Amino acid sequence: MSLTKRIILISLLYASCGNALQAADEPAIVVTATRTAQITDQTLAPVIVIERDVIERSAAVDVADLLRLHAGLDIGRNGGAGQPASLFLRGTESNHTLIMIDGVKINPGTIGGAALQNIRPDLIERIEVVKGPRSSLYGSDAIGGVINLITRQAAEGARGYFAFGAGRYGTRSENLGVHFGNGTSRAGLDASAYVTDAFATRQDASDERGHDDLSFNLYAGRNFGALDLELRRWQSAGNTEYFDFFLTPLDQDFSNTATSLMLKATPRDAWLSTLRLSQASDEIDQNQGDDFAHTRRNQLDWQNDVQLDARQLLTAGLMLSREKAASSVFGTGFDVTTDVNGVYLQDDIKFGAHHLLLAGRHTDHDSFGGHGTWNIEYGYEWSSATRFTAAAGTGFRAPDATDRYGFGGNPDLKPETSRNLEVGARQRISQRQTMTVNLFDNRIEDLIEFTDPDDFLGPIQGANQNLHKARIRGVELSYALNLQPVSLRVEGIVQNPKNETSGEPLPRRAKRSLTTSLVYEQAAYLLGADLILQSKRKDSAFSDTYNAGYGLVNLSAQWRVQKDWRLIGKLENAFDKHYELADGFNSAGRALFIEARYGPAL
């Protein structure tokens, strides 16, 4: 088989965020960094890949709980399970990270970032985290990076599993899945039910605030030779109880979905064309009043990958999006439709020890007009064990519907923009040890802030305005050791997320954080420990309160009782540390969770 045909075959298997189960000794393949399949060791952008075995060992409540096990992925949360969770990637804003499920954008068009608290890890096969701007490929919101959550899918043959578990705070969970694949056809269903009484979310309250979630993932696909067709649907729905500002007990219903129909074809030998039609929704309805926030986004994404020769892969695409966002808060709201169109082009070139990537995009937004973004990345293989990288790129975030038409709305807002510079090095110390280091400098302009009547900065009082600038400089290091039966991962970041207009630190972002994962695994059992260390963080741009630094230790264990039966245990916050992710809100104390799982080994 020629090199070109092998590359096309890999792209058919992995492009457009498809997934297949990897053997443990094979290098991971990622698609999010360039929209095409690449081995992680060859990506120019910093990438984190969280595989299924790590997800299962963590016994994480939701995706936010899982992501915080990596330094530089700071989480702010207003209480326990189901409460709003915000992600601050490399010091950027919580709405500066693009979140996708199977390549479908799920960031809401109303306010804030994606609802990470509603995504159950039981339905996720792998997570790809790409750090740095990716607006040249994905458009708005990709200033800090992109996170792609890839749901579970069949390998060869038929397989099924079920699991049930219970733990502190009246927590119960049930999961099941059935998958089938025979090379040409594939289909599957995963379902997860999660219920918890949780705890009092506010420190000034005593009543528990519970949460329930019923999620499923459904897919079916068939390969017709040069043609491949696949339909996917992910959905999470349930109810969350909470307290308002006045400690009034309230609850709301939520629903999040991502549906896609994908067609892949090879019109010519070296040309892969992928068409994805998708719809995503994010809906919240408050049950003690008429408040709501709804987003529904329809999108067409047509991507074409052309292998010009063995060294050069050209990617070109078209994205058309129509978003309908509606909201009502205390009787004031909006109902607006936004059209966003974009074209992108990427050239991925390898010549000898050199690797060059050029990418550009033009986005046409019906609110603020046209906007261009770009990426230039370069890698040099000093030797088979040493690689150096350098990158420059821009990103942007379009003002959402709440920014433009909600409380303090301003239809004349400009997009928030960024310029990021980065250098890095990767050293393979031995076959079992790897170390990486990255230095980055991210400047963000035209940050949108609300000015109240006492704010002297803005000429228009009581409105959203492009007032602030920010600069985030930092260095991140990681070390990985795979010395069976022991494996170790250490990640650390030192950064300075600063609002250059006010001179204040950007809130909810730690200047220093360290995470460590240590695993001891034998055939019959597994023992693991995760450590999270974070320095103090400013709580809000509107107060001088700082949330104290903290250290957490989570312990985990698995016991293979029989061939397909396992017991999984997790002790979260093993030393019962009191800490705050948001001022005035409680966090989970020491909590034990036990799960019994039946199914073939992954």
What pLDDT, on a 0 to 100 scale, did the predictor assign at position 459?
Answer: 47
CA 444-446-450 angle, to 5 degrees, is 120
Distances (CA, A) of 510 to 72, 89, 414, 418, 559: 8, 11, 28, 20, 36
Q: State how far the Cα of 53 lies from the Cα of 126, in Å rounded to an integer.
A: 9
Total domains present in the chain: 1
Reading the block at residue 394, the tokens are 């821009």
What is 333-373 written as a DSSP string?
Answer: EEEEEEEEEEEEEEEEEEETTEEEEEEEEEEEETTTEEEEE
- Whether residue 348 contacts residue 375, with contact meaning beta carbons closer than 8 Å, is answered with no
- Whether residue 448 contacts residue 403, with contact meaning beta carbons closer than 8 Å, is answered with yes
Q: Give the pLDDT confidence of 534-561 residue by residue, as tens digits.
A: 999 999 888 899 999 999 999 999 999 9
Q: Is pLDDT larger for residue 253 or for residue 406?
A: 253
Judged against a pLDDT cut of 90, whether residue 407 lies above it is answered with no
- Whether residue 546 contacts residue 535, with contact meaning beta carbons closer than 8 Å, is answered with no
Q: State how far the Cα of 350 lies from the Cα of 219, in Å rounded to an integer.
A: 36
Strand partners, 171: 167
Judged against a pLDDT cut of 70, whether residue 14 lies above it is answered with no
Q: State how far the Cα of 236 lies from the Cα of 496, in Å rounded to an integer.
A: 36
Share of the chain above pLDDT 70, in %: 93
Q: Give the pLDDT confidence of 155-171 residue by residue, as tens digits.
A: 788 999 999 999 999 99
Calculate the average pLDDT of the chain: 91
What pLDDT, on a 0 to 100 scale, did the predictor assign at position 601?
Answer: 54
Q: What is the pTM of this model?
A: 0.93
What pLDDT, on a 0 to 100 scale, did the predictor assign at position 10?
Answer: 35
Mean pLDDT across 210-223: 96
Mean pLDDT across 33-39: 92
Q: Give the pLDDT confidence of 461-517 residue by residue, as tens digits.
A: 568 899 899 999 999 999 999 998 999 999 999 999 999 999 999 999 999 999 999
Q: Give the pLDDT confidence of 331-358 residue by residue, as tens digits.
A: 788 999 999 999 999 999 999 999 999 9
Q: Residue 576 belongs to a domain with what CATH number?
A: 2.40.170.20
Reading the block at residue 137, the tokens are 């490929």
What pLDDT, on a 0 to 100 scale, did the predictor assign at position 17?
Answer: 35
Q: State how far the Cα of 213 lies from the Cα of 463, in Å rounded to an integer.
A: 36
Query: Which of 212-216, 363-367, 377-381 is predicted with the least confidence, judged by mean pLDDT?
Result: 363-367
What pLDDT, on a 0 to 100 scale, did the predictor assign at position 27?
Answer: 62
Question: Nearest-CA neighbor of 301 among 348, 266, 262, 265?
Answer: 262
What pLDDT, on a 0 to 100 scale, did the predictor assign at position 450?
Answer: 83
Strand partners, 512: 494
Q: Is pLDDT larger for residue 6 or for residue 269?
A: 269
Structural domain including 239 reads 3-598
